[in-house]
Amino acid sequence: MAGIAYSNPINILARVVLEHIENELKKRWPYRDVWFRRQNNIWDNQSNFIYNIQDFDELIERIKSQLQLNQFDKKEFFYYSLNRWYNYWSARAVEQLFIDQPNVNAVLNEKDRLKDFSIQGISFDLKTTKFPKGFQKDFAYAQNHPEMLIKWLYNNQSTGRRFHLENRLFLVVFAANGEHYKLKA
C-alpha cells in the first residue's frame, strides 16, 4: 500500500489509515501461515473481537484473554484469530483502495455481508484470497483459464454463513516464493 498516490487531498487521511493498517499487518509476518482448521461459526463467534482491533499488540493481548474464557486449543485458537484479523483488516484496506477510485462507492451498510462496494452501480463482495492449493493446477494454468479458477473459488470459498452466490470480486494474491499471504499487507 505504500507508494500509492492520491489525486484527491481528502484522501490523505485514508492514506494515513492505510499506512497504519499496513504496518500493523506486517507485524503478523513472523508467524507461520497456518489455520489448523476450517473457519466455522462457533470459532468465528468467539473471535469476533478482531473487527474492533487494528493494533497487533492489542490483538495478541485480546487473544490471550479470550483463551482464558474458553477451552479451545491454545495454538489453534491463536492462529485462527490471528488469521481472521489479518484477513479482515487486509480486506478493509483493499476495499479502501477500490473506494478511492472513480465510479466506486462504498456500501452504506458496512455490515452487509453480500456487498462491500459498487462499481458503476453494480455491487460486489470483495474476496481477497491466496492462490488456492486446492485448485490443483498451477498459477500459469489459472491465468490462462480464469473461468476455471473463478468456478473453483465460487464453489470452495466462503462456506457456512458466509456462502452466497451474489457478485463477488476475487482478488487472488500469488507469490512465486509461496509467501502469498504477505501480499495482503
Task: Split the chain (185 residues) into runs of 10 and give each run's mean pLDDT.
Answer: 44 73 97 90 94 97 94 95 96 91 87 84 91 94 96 79 74 94 92
Residue 49 domain-assigned (yes or no):
yes
Tally of domains in the chain: 1
pLDDT value of residue 4: 44
Q: Is residue 37 part of a domain?
A: yes
Q: Please report whether residue 62 resides in a domain.
A: yes
Answer yes or no: is 4 within a domain: no
Q: Is the separation of the CB atoms in 35 and 83 below 8 Å? A: yes
Share in percent of the chain as helix, strand, coil (round to 5): 50, 10, 35
Phi, psi of 119 (to 5 degrees): -115, 115
pLDDT at 2: 45
Instruction: Say what the pLDDT of residue 155 is.
Output: 85
- At residue 38, the pLDDT reads 86
pTM over 0.95: no
- Return the H-helix or E-strand segment holding 173: strand 168-173
- Give 10-13's long-range contacts (Cβ < 8 A, gap of 24+): 11/100
**Which domain range does residue 17 map to?**
9-184
Encode 28-39: b = buried (16+ Cβ within 10 Å), e = exposed.
beeeebeeeeeb
Count how many Cα atoms sit within 13 Å of the Cα of residue 52 in the half-sphere of its side chain.
5
83 found inside a domain: yes
Q: Are 14 and 6 in contact, with CB atoms under 8 Å apart?
A: yes
Does residue 2 sit within a domain? no
Query: In 17-145, at which residue ranges do the beta strands (DSSP E only) sit?
Result: 104-106, 117-119, 122-130
pLDDT of 156 reads 85
Q: 177 phi and psi, to 5 degrees?
A: -80, 0
Listed in sequence order, the residues at least 6 apart from 88 whose beta carbon sits closer than 8 Å to its beta carbon are 50, 51
Write out the DSSP string of 81-111: HHHHHHHHHHHHHHHHHHHTSTTEEE-S-TT
